[in-house]
Structure 1
């Protein structure tokens, strides 16, 4: 068995329309930065969510059926010292909404973040509305930001009910750039104990070992892989006061990532992506064509002249079967990407035929790669 030659990152075999285009393989694997395949543990975002009201709508808000909106309006007015009978409210100009946002790492109090506003009731549109001050909470129940301001939907709706309605995009969801003010930051201090950890985007034993070698070659024996997805690093003494500079130096180190031999296939688009480290044993591929055509025809039977017969229409069916001779080609164990594609072209394989052939090769044990159908 001979492995396919490694080429830049991965060799793509794109199958478009009804034919395949041979691709050539490069002898060198790609070199990337640690920054592109790993991240520092502890540097993460946090999701925030809140419930609020959008006011100032032009009759496109929630109806009386949205009890949560009516109750929310009553509670809001009560907090301002206004007591009313909620049964008399008509919340056409108000919509109950869910407000969501992502709190990035390293933001501080007073910074602003973007928020998304989504209708919760039966409002037709929140276009032109204003979000009333809404606390945004994290999973621990603590408030980390407060949102308020005008909502931009990028769409519209005209008319209500029946068929007299025109709509563009989704006017029940809007955005508020810089619409929330951070009230509480998340402590993201790294390296306080003299160590940091890197998490691999795609855990792999070989890639982790290569990253450790690259780091130790630059800074000495400061790194070790505790598992395929994590590398623990001791910060050198001369970098203890400059952790940011140390992480920046780490991220720029080159490493050659390793990948699992995989063939990804998309039957809907006829696209096939093959990794450069896929190998194949000698095998024979036979691709034959069986064409079956079923066609209905109407036969009309006319009676003889001056007879008392009647015209009869009979529906008959013709079935034609065409079994073309199959093509057989032997694929040697020294095949590379071009040989595979050329062989499948030689037997006249369509994209779906190619997927079936690769699945059959995998089932026979001739194709040494993981097949993934998307």
Structure 2
């Protein structure tokens, strides 16, 4: 792990990145769709007479003109109730098709070989945006024997249908009519937002204004064609983002420690060594002499030894960079758990100038 940190410690020069890699335009995003449906054609791996599946199947058959009697409960081993999810990309128009994911929500053990019956998909506003239907492609496999033994490969209760939904309604983004469009950074930073604003204003004076550490307002001329051309050009502008704040990330579950290049140290000396105490317990049998009135007893025999590894001391000068920190830790020969303890001690001593995040 320390070798990996040493590789990361190689100093890197600031480089420019495209604006499209630093953020995105507000409203130009995907929208989540959800729906409830029924998968039919399963080979005995369905929900089997669950009440809500029965109602759902009666509703499906009713849409087809077949009304089942109220007192009839059909055998539904070949049917499963499912939840349908999909992402509706920005600017998707009616008639285009999108991929969907189908997941069992009942007792079904596998969706392999099933077909999704036509089902509506709703947006967050409760309106229908797509209609889903198609044959499922399931990557998992589940097998159950009569004695109760089971074999499962991957997840057989989740499948996908490529281009399984047809878009029926477009999401209104205000792209053509809005007076102001906003571009948002993925990571909030005042300096980066100002540099994005300056880069845009150098090509289109007065067009951009920084609202805060995330948003840059753009005053674009009306017209979809004009705006599309300007936004395409803006996305390709090069901007040098501000250096990330100094952070040390510690994963307490795996012992992984990541230190970014902005971390600096005040003068500090670190000593690291190990004390090992070993206790061996043995039992000795003591026999009495011949013709004596003594008895056989067991006596304990304890052996205690202690060893201490030679402690190394590493001096970290003022403003030490990541490469110096890694060199010092390599000299100490620390393990990941020791590294976490050393970093926490440096933080408490006021020497580590960075935010320490434990996940």
Report whether the alignment pairs 1:250 with 2:234: yes
Shift of 1:231: 0.4
Report whether the alignment pairs 1:154 with 2:163: no
Shift of 1:194: 4.6
Report whether the alignment pairs 1:190 with 2:175: yes
- Partner residue in 2 for 1:121: 106
With 295-304 and 70-79 compared, the bigger mean Cα shift is at 295-304
Partner of residue 2 from structure 2, selected from 1, 4, 15 = 15
Deviations 1:94-117 (A, max 9, x none): 111111111111111111111111
- The alignment's TM-score, normalised by the length of structure 2, stands at 0.90
Kept after mapping to 1: 8 A contact 2:262/2:322: no
After TM superposition, the structure 1 = structure 2 runs for residues 346-361 of structure 1, keeping only pairs within 5 Å, are 346-361=331-346
Kindly tell me the number of residue pairs found equivalent between the two proteins.
Answer: 357
Kept after mapping to 1: 8 A contact 2:25/2:183: yes
Kept after mapping to 2: 8 A contact 1:263/1:371: yes
Kept after mapping to 2: 8 A contact 1:70/1:86: no
Q: Structure 1 residues 166, 217: CA separation in 2 closer, same or farther (over 3 Å shift)?
A: same
- Partner residue in 2 for 1:169: 154
Shift of 1:351: 2.0
Report whether the alignment pairs 1:368 with 2:353: yes
Kept after mapping to 2: 8 A contact 1:50/1:100: yes
- The alignment's TM-score, normalised by the length of structure 1, stands at 0.86
Deviations 1:177-206 (A, max 9, x none): 111111111123425345321001001111
**Matched residues in 1 for 2:7 and 2:58: separation?**
69
**Matched residues in 2 for 1:310 and 1:68: separation?**
79
- Partner residue in 2 for 1:7: none
Shift of 1:255: 1.1
Partner of residue 246 from structure 2, selected from 261, 266, 269 = 261
Partner of residue 59 from structure 2, selected from 58, 64, 75 = 75
**Matched residues in 2 for 1:361 and 1:265: separation?**
14
Alignment root-mean-square deviation, CA: 2.6
**Matched residues in 2 for 1:110 and 1:299: separation?**
88
Larger RCO (alpha carbons 8 Å, 6+ apart): 1
Kept after mapping to 2: 8 A contact 1:132/1:148: yes
With 22-31 and 197-206 compared, the bigger mean Cα shift is at 22-31
Kept after mapping to 1: 8 A contact 2:285/2:299: yes
Q: Structure 1 residues 312, 140: CA separation in 2 closer, same or farther (over 3 Å shift)?
A: farther
**Matched residues in 2 for 1:314 and 1:154: separation?**
65
After TM superposition, the structure 1 = structure 2 runs for residues 99-248 of structure 1, keeping only pairs within 5 Å, are 99-160=84-145, 162-235=147-220, 241-248=225-232
Any gaps of 5 or more consecutive residues in structure 1? 1-13
Deviations 1:230-281 (A, max 9, x none): 00012268x8742111111111111111221112233554443322222211
**Matched residues in 1 for 2:268 and 2:286: separation?**
57
**Matched residues in 1 for 2:53 and 2:153: separation?**
25
Aligned residue for 2:43, secondary structure, equals coil
Kept after mapping to 2: 8 A contact 1:71/1:86: no
Kept after mapping to 2: 8 A contact 1:15/1:272: no
**Matched residues in 2 for 1:342 and 1:349: separation?**
11
**Matched residues in 2 for 1:191 and 1:293: separation?**
77
- Partner residue in 2 for 1:42: 27
